Structure formats: C-alpha cells, structure tokens
Amino acid sequence: MWTNIVILSLVTVQRLIELYIGRRNTKRLLARGGFEVASGHYPLFVILHAMWLAGLWYLALGLAVSWPWVFAYLVLEAGRGWVIAALGGRWTTRIIVMPGEELTARGPYRFFRHPNYMIVAGEIFILPMAFGLLWYALVFTVLNGALLYWRIRSEDEALKPLREGAQSQPDAN
C-alpha cells in the first residue's frame, strides 16, 4: 500500500506543479498580447482529470502494482518533459494564441502536431493499468478522447492562420 501512496503522491504533486507552470505561463503569454480560445472545454478537462486522479486514490491503494506499467508511465513522463522543454514559456494547459509568432517545430513537435495530447492520453490509460484497473483506464480514455477531439479541433482552427503563414514563407535554405 505504501508503494501505491508514493506513486499516487508523486503523480498528484506533478499535476499540481504542471498547473502552476501552466497558469504562470498563461499569465505571461496573455500579458504579451496572446489570447485564449475555446476556453469552454477547459473546466471539463479539470473536472475529468481531478476525478481520474481522485478515483485512483480511492480504488488503487490496496491493489498490486504492475512495474512494467509503472515503467511505461515513467517513459511517458520523460516525453512530457521533452514537450515542456520544447515549448518553454509557451507551454500551458490552455489554448493561447500568440499573434505573429511561429509555431514550435522543435523537440517532439518536429514529428507530431499534438505530442502533449498523445502523452496525456497515454497517462490516462497507463496509470490505472499500473494497478490492474483496465475498466477504469478504458472509461477515462474514452471520456478524455472525446474532450481531446473537441480541444484539438478548436486548437487546430485557432492556429490555422499561423500554420498557413509558416507554410507560405519561402524556404530559407
């Protein structure tokens, strides 16, 4: 049970730190002229992720830990670090558009349009699996997927002018 408490405590602290970083970066971006789009879905994400984590605290404390799944989760967290490092001060938990700035094409963004969302989807599934909670992993993966569908469509629409502007620039080579 102590192992479960340590794992869930670390994940909880990580999420709180991410919320702090996201809030700090959001304030800075807005102060520099950025603007938020599609904020209507944000409270639903907060509720979903809070319920997911609270439910894990309730359900997982007495369950056996599957170390391969814990390792898979740690690999995802390395990916999360890569995403945050690539975006730097532009990483937030909200959709903030910075007019006149180019989209990030560093780190995992060289390979994927939405690597952070891929990692979040993996986390939502993998952490419950570390405690053998397949049904829980599936339910929250489906709910998160529905919200991500909405968010990605909103984000892609908001960033379309920046993406098209980058594609219309002459090649610097």
The CATH number given to whatever domain includes residue 74 is 1.20.120.1630
Q: Is the pLDDT of residue 168 over 80?
A: no
Domain that holds residue 120: 2-32+44-158
**CA pair distance 85, 99, nearest whole angstrom:** 21
Give the pLDDT of residue 82.
96
Tell me if 10 is assigned to some domain. Answer: yes
Specify if 166 maps to a domain: no
Least confident of 17-21, 28-32, 35-39, 163-167: 163-167
- 148 lies in some domain: yes
Under the banding of pLDDT at 50, 70 and 90, the label for residue 8 is: very high
What pLDDT sits at residue 68? 98
Whole-angstrom distance, CA of residue 159 vs CA of residue 40: 17
83-99 as b/e, with b when 16 or more CB fall inside 10 Å? bbebbeebbbbbbbbbe
Reported confidence tier of residue 165, pLDDT bands at 50, 70, 90: low
Interval 48-97: pLDDT, tens: 999 999 999 999 999 999 999 999 999 999 999 999 999 999 999 999 99
The answer to whether position 170 is within a domain reads: no
Helices 42-60 and 115-129: crossing angle in degrees, nearest 10, is 20
In a domain, 50, yes or no: yes
Domain count, the chain: 1
Q: Does some domain include residue 116?
A: yes
Q: Is residue 87, in this structure, part of any structural domain at all? A: yes
Q: How far is CA 166 from CA 28, 86, 157, 161, 163, in A?
A: 24, 18, 15, 9, 5
Q: In whole angstroms, how far apart are CA 169 and each of 22, 74, 100, 102?
A: 30, 39, 13, 11
| Residue 173 confidence class, pLDDT cut points 50, 70, 90 | very low
pLDDT tier at 170, thresholds 50, 70, 90: very low
Q: Is the pLDDT of residue 169 over 50?
A: no
Better pLDDT: 171 or 83: 83
pLDDT of residue 52: 98
Please indicate, yes or no, if residue 167 is contained in any of the structural domains.
Answer: no
